[in-house]
Amino acid sequence: MKHVRLGLVGLGNIGKFHAGYLLDKKISRGELAAVADSNASNIEPFRAKGVKAFATSEEMIRSGEIDAIIVATPHFQHTTIGIDALKNGLHTMIEKPVSAHKADAERLFAVAREHPKQVFAGMFQLRVEPRYQKIKKLIDGGDLGQIVRINWIITDWFRTEAYYASGGWRATWKGEGGGVLLNQCLHQLDVLQWLCGMPASVRGFCQLGRFHDIEVEDNVTCVMEWANGATGVFVSSTGEAPGTNRFEIVGTRGKVVLENNKLTFTRNDADMVEFSKSAKSGFAKPEVWNVEIPFADASNGHAVLMQSFVDSILDGTPLIASGYDGMGSVELANVLLYSSLIGETVQLPLDSAAWETKLNELIANSTKQKKVVKIQSDDFTSSFRK
Ligand SMILES: NC(=O)c1ccc[n+]([C@@H]2O[C@H](COP(=O)([O-])OP(=O)(O)OC[C@H]3O[C@@H](n4cnc5c(N)ncnc54)[C@H](O)[C@@H]3O)[C@@H](O)[C@H]2O)c1
């Protein structure tokens, strides 16, 4: 194979975005060969451009027209379409979240493991953003010392009622399986566990439909504890304006803060724990250096991950993010909500069957009727820079 024929299923917000840079030939050795969407009006413009168009993923997967698939449908279909694609020999790239819930992710991963020659990738584009890579370098290089506290307040995900009314699947237990944690915050939860590892226990406080006429969570405050005793708080909302986005990680050698597009490192001249043990004065504190860490603007992270997918298929190079890497974020989104719903602290790993049972109960007992309203098409890409 010299180039990869890509098939894209799901031509909504993100599907159209992927199609845009693929059609602009931004991916070397990868071409958009086919698209599929259950809504006929979404596929017609592509047919007119000479791209093969299918009404269903099943037809596209079996067409012989593609080598690889990008799954950009609502979350629940990531598992079913992903499994179908893998079983039919396709390299598979799954949008975030890798599945709607952990048990589904386990089913998808089991099939991916049965097909190790096919590349299985996840779209976790924040991992290539320079600001997060710089934080990773500080942590992995030991500059921060041992992490003791993590705070992420990300309450600037403001969404209107019109947003929630724009898709029948949105903000429903049946269509999405969760709210702000699984949808808007999924990338931040991915970054959080990519940088700091998975917590050992969590306690979520999630308000369902606090600001909107929806049944899932739109306002959350979560407490986490790591095995080494580090603690953390994750706060998010889609109902708060103006909102805040402040990510702070404290280590024994200082603290790093990402806020207002600035990355600052306040470096302790001595490890704070050792300093405390050896200082003779009761009020002494380690001296600090204030460092503003420069970082380049993010380029098109989605395209970078897509190129990594194509290169991995053709050259066997390692992926930036595999599909398997999607487990941490889906598990966190599930467990924070589960903990809130049962009113208890939950130890990780999450019992995937317990959450699936709870979610199925929520689906069965759902009484909310959704009215879908067509809304004006805003520039949804503005939500990428979080
Ligand atoms: N990586 C990112 O930055 C990013 C950004 C936005 C959305 N997403 C993810 O992408 C997925 C889609 O989100 P969206 O905002 O584009 O949704 P959307 O509602 O705008 O689009 C979904 C599309 O899928 C189609 N569809 C639904 N079921 C289908 C099926 N069974 N077969 C074929 N087509 C089907 C719909 O007709 C629609 O066109 C979600 O899982 C979301 O979490 C990722």
Nearest atom within ligand 1 for CA of residue 77: 31
Do 167 and 265 lie in one domain? The reply is: yes
What is the band of 357 on the pLDDT scale with cuts at 50, 70, 90?
Answer: very high
Do 266 and 309 lie in one domain? The reply is: no
For ligand 1, the distance from its centroid to the CA atom of residue 10, given in whole angstroms, is 5
Question: If you take atom 33 of ligand 1, which residue's CA is the nearest one?
Answer: 37
pLDDT at 7 over 80: yes
For ligand 1, the distance from its centroid to the CA atom of residue 37, given in whole angstroms, is 10
pLDDT at 34 over 80: yes
- Write the burial class of residue 45 (CB in 10 Å: 0-12 exposed, 13-18 middle, 19+ buried): middle
Do 51 and 150 lie in one domain? The reply is: no
Do 249 and 337 lie in one domain? The reply is: yes
CA angle, corner 273, sides to 267 and 275, nearest 5? Answer: 75
User: What share of the chain in percent tops pLDDT 70?
Assistant: 98
Do 25 and 52 lie in one domain? The reply is: yes
Per-residue pLDDT, averaged over 314-329, amounts to 98
- Count of domains observed in the chain: 2
Domain of 52, in residue numbers:
4-126+300-322
pLDDT at 75 over 70: yes
What is the band of 73 on the pLDDT scale with cuts at 50, 70, 90?
Answer: very high
**Whole-number pLDDT of residue 344:** 98
What is the band of 167 on the pLDDT scale with cuts at 50, 70, 90?
Answer: confident
Do 188 and 335 lie in one domain? The reply is: yes
What is the band of 176 on the pLDDT scale with cuts at 50, 70, 90?
Answer: very high
Do 195 and 244 lie in one domain? The reply is: yes
pLDDT at 307 over 80: yes
**Whole-number pLDDT of residue 377:** 64
**Whole-number pLDDT of residue 378:** 65
Question: If you take atom 39 of ligand 1, which residue's CA is the nearest one?
Answer: 12
pTM reported for the whole predicted model: 0.96
Distances (CA, A) of 273 to 7, 138, 151: 54, 19, 20
Do 176 and 247 lie in one domain? The reply is: yes
Do 317 and 334 lie in one domain? The reply is: no
Q: Residue 167: CB within 6 Å of ligand 1?
A: yes
Residue 273 half-sphere exposure toward CB, CA atoms < 13 A: 9
Do 87 and 104 lie in one domain? The reply is: yes
- Write the burial class of residue 115 (CB in 10 Å: 0-12 exposed, 13-18 middle, 19+ buried): middle
**Whole-number pLDDT of residue 372:** 80
Domain harbouring 352, CATH code: 3.30.360.10
Instruction: Tell me what the pLDDT averaged over the chain comes to.
Output: 96
What is the band of 24 on the pLDDT scale with cuts at 50, 70, 90?
Answer: very high
pLDDT at 371 over 80: no
Do 133 and 245 lie in one domain? The reply is: yes
User: 151-163: per-residue pLDDT in tens?
Assistant: 999 999 999 999 9
Taken in order 309, 314, 319, 322, is the CA torsion positive or negative? positive
Range from 150-154, 179-183, 201-205, 297-301 carrying the lowest mean pLDDT? 297-301
Give the C-alpha separation, 279 to 126, whole Å: 41
Our measurement of the distance from residue 107's CA atom to the centroid of its chain's CA atoms, rounded to an integer in Å, reads 19
Question: If you take atom 28 of ligand 1, which residue's CA is the nearest one?
Answer: 73
Instruction: Output 134 or 368, whichever has higher pLDDT.
Output: 134
Domain harbouring 84, CATH code: 3.40.50.720
Do 222 and 281 lie in one domain? The reply is: yes
**Whole-number pLDDT of residue 221:** 98
Question: If you take atom 27 of ligand 1, which residue's CA is the nearest one?
Answer: 73
What is the band of 384 on the pLDDT scale with cuts at 50, 70, 90?
Answer: confident
For ligand 1, the distance from its centroid to the CA atom of residue 9, given in whole angstroms, is 8
Query: How many residues appear in the chain?
Result: 386
Nearest atom within ligand 1 for CA of residue 16: 16
Distances (CA, A) of 75 to 96, 127, 177: 8, 20, 8
**Whole-number pLDDT of residue 231:** 98
User: 215-271: per-residue pLDDT in tens?
Assistant: 999 999 999 999 999 999 999 999 999 999 999 999 999 999 999 999 999 999 999
**Whole-number pLDDT of residue 381:** 76
User: For a pocket test of ligand 1, which of 17, 38, 189, 300 has the largest count of ligand atoms closer than 8 A to its C-beta?
Assistant: 38
